[in-house]
Amino acid sequence: MRVTIFESNEELDRQAADMIAQTVAKRPSAVLGLATGSTPVGIYKALIKQAAEQRLSFAGVTTYNLDEYVGLTPEHDQSYAYFMKQHLFSHLDIPSAQTNLPNGMADDLSAECARYDRMLERQPIDIQLLGIGHNGHIGFNEPAAELIGGTHIAELEAATLAANARFFEHEEQVPRQALTMGVGSILKARSILLVARGADKAPIIKQALSGPITTACPASLLQTHAHVTVLLDKEAGKDLIPDDTTLHLVYS
Ligand code: PGA
C-alpha cells in the first residue's frame, strides 16, 4: 500500500484533487465514488480550482456517494445530498442527473439499496474517495462481527452519533439510520483513495493499515485491495512505523 504523509494539508488536498482530476482527464466519462464529512472538504475546494484552471469538464462524469442519512430530504442542510451540492456539484459542470446518492427518503429502503447496487454494477467506480471514522468505519460500515457486502441500511453506532452531533443543534437530531454502500461495493472500485487528517485519527490509521484484517476495523479490509493510495497529514501518520515493509511510506 502506498502511503504519503504530508507536511501541509494544502499539499494533501492538491495531491488528492490531482488524482481525481487526472482520472477525469484520462477518461471524461469517469465514475467517481465520493465521500462527505470534514476530510474531503479541502479536496473538493482544490478540485474545483484545478477544474477551472485546467478547463476540465465534468459533463460526462458520473458520481456515486458512499452514504446518506435516512429521513433527511436533499434540501435538509445536514443531508449528504445538500453537502455535495454545496461543496462540489454546484461548482462543476456536472449534470445533477449524473450525481447519485442513496435516497434516504425512499418508501422502500431495501428496494432503494438494491437499485443503488444495480447502478453500481452497471457503472463500476474508477476512483473511490474515502475518509475513516475513529472506530475504523468506512462509509457507515461500522465495526461488527459480520460486515455486509452490498448497499444496506446501517444503524449508527453511539460513537458515530456523537461524532456527527457537532453538525446538528442536538445529538437527538442526528438520524439513527443511514443507507451506505457495503464494504463489498467499496472494494469493487478500481482504485481507492483513503484520506485522514489529525492526531485523533493516528491510532485507527495504524490499526487499519498495519493491524490484522478484521471486521472489527472495517477499513482494514482495504489491505486486500490492490490499488489503494493513502494520503495522510503528518499527525494522522505519526504512529506508522517508517520501516514497516507492508507499507510503501513516502514523506512529502
Ligand atoms: P470525518 O469523517 O471526515 O468528518 O472525520 C470521516 C468518517 O467518519 O468516515
132 lines ligand 1 (CB under 6 A): yes
- Mutation test of ligand 1: which of 132, 134, 181 has the most ligand atoms closer than 8 Å to its C-beta? 132
Adjacent-strand bridge partners of 127: 32, 191
Ligand 1 atom nearest to 164, measured from its CA: 4
Which residue is associated with the grid cell 446518492?
A: 101
According to the model, what pLDDT value does residue 172 have? Answer: 85
Does the pLDDT at position 183 exceed 90? yes
pLDDT at res. 125: 98
**141 catalytically annotated:** no
pLDDT in tens, 25-47: 999 999 999 999 999 999 999 99
Active site includes 137?
Answer: yes
In what order do the strands lie in the sheet containing 228-233? 99-100, 62-65, 31-34, 127-130, 191-196, 228-233, 2-6, 248-251
CB of 139 sitting under 6 A from ligand 1: no
User: Which residue's alpha carbon is at the smallest distance from atom 2 of ligand 1?
Assistant: 37
User: Is the per-residue pLDDT at 19 higher than 90?
Assistant: yes
Tell whether ligand 1 has an atom less than 6 A from the beta carbon of residue 39.
yes
Give pairs for 172-175: CB < 8 Å, separation 24+: 173/78, 175/69, 175/70, 175/71, 175/72, 175/104
Indicate the pLDDT class of residue 90, thresholds 50, 70 and 90. very high
Mean pLDDT of the residues in the chain:
96
Residue 246: pLDDT above 90?
A: no
CB of 33 sitting under 6 A from ligand 1: no
- 222 or 1, higher pLDDT: 222
70 neighbors 175 (Cβ within 8 angstroms): yes
Cell reading at 196: 485522514
In the predicted model, is pLDDT for residue 202 greater than 90? Answer: yes
Q: Is 36 in the pocket of ligand 1 (CB under 6 A)?
A: no
Mean pLDDT of the 116-130 span: 98
The alpha carbon of 205 is separated from its chain's Cα centroid by a whole number of angstroms, namely 15
pTM of the model: 0.95
Backbone torsions φ then ψ of 18, nearest 5 degrees: -60, -40
DSSP 13-33: HHHHHHHHHHHHHH-TT-EEE
Q: Which letter, b or e, does each residue of 77-100 get, where b requires 16 or more Cβ atoms within 10 Å of its Cβ?
A: eebbbbbbbebbbebbebeeebbb
- Specify the ligand 1 atom closest to the Cα of 130: 9
Q: Give every CB contact of residue 136 below 8 A, 6+ residues apart in sequence.
A: 143, 204, 207, 208, 216, 217, 218, 219, 220
Whether the CB of 131 sits within 6 Å of ligand 1 = yes
pLDDT of residue 84: 98
